[in-house]
Amino acid sequence: MVACGPTENRRESHHQNVGEIKTGGSKLISIDGKYKVWTKKVGEGKIKVLLLHGGPGFSHDYFECFEDFLPKENIEFYYYDQLGSGNSDVPTDTTLWNTARFVEEVEQVRKGLGLENFYILGHSWGSLLAMEYLNKYQKHVKGAVLSNMTGSIDDFINYSAVLKSKLFTSIEKQLFDSLDMAKAYSSPRYTSLLNEKLYTKVICRMPLEQWPEPLMRAFKKPNQSVYLQMQGIDEFHVTGNLMNWDFWDKMPRIKVPTLVLGGVYDEMDPESMKREAQLIPNSRLYLCPEGSHMSMYDDQSNYFNSLVGFLKDVDADHFVADKKL
Type of residue numbered 216 = M
Q: Residue 155 catalytic? A: no
Q: What is the C-alpha to C-alpha distance for residues 202 and 217, in angstroms, rounded to an integer? A: 19
CB contact at 8 A, 112 and 27:
yes
- Mark whether 124 is an active-site residue: yes
Distances (CA, A) of 16 to 7, 9, 11, 152, 209: 14, 11, 9, 52, 50
Quote the CA–CA distance of 141 and 26 in Å, as a whole number.
Answer: 22
Phi and psi of 152, rounded to 5°? Answer: -160, 155
Of the residues 127, 293, 295, 298, only one is catalytic, namely 293
d(CA 314, CA 36) in angstroms, rounded, equals 32
CA angle centred on 149, ends 134 and 313, rounded to 5°? 60
120 beta partners: 50, 144
Q: What's the CA gap between 183 and 179, in Å, rounded?
A: 6
- Indicate left, alpha or beta for 200 from its phi (over 0: left) and psi (-120 to 50: alpha): alpha
- How many angstroms separate the first and last alpha carbons of the chain? 83
Task: Determine the longest span between alpha carbons in the chain, in angstroms.
Answer: 85
Catalytic residue among 88, 124, 283, 295: 124
Active-site residue, 318 included: no
d(CA 46, CA 49): 10
Under DSSP, the state recorded for 176 is H
Catalytic residue, from 266, 269, 298, 299: name it: 266
Cβ neighbours around 21 below 10 Å, total: 7
Q: Which residues are catalytic?
A: 124, 266, 293
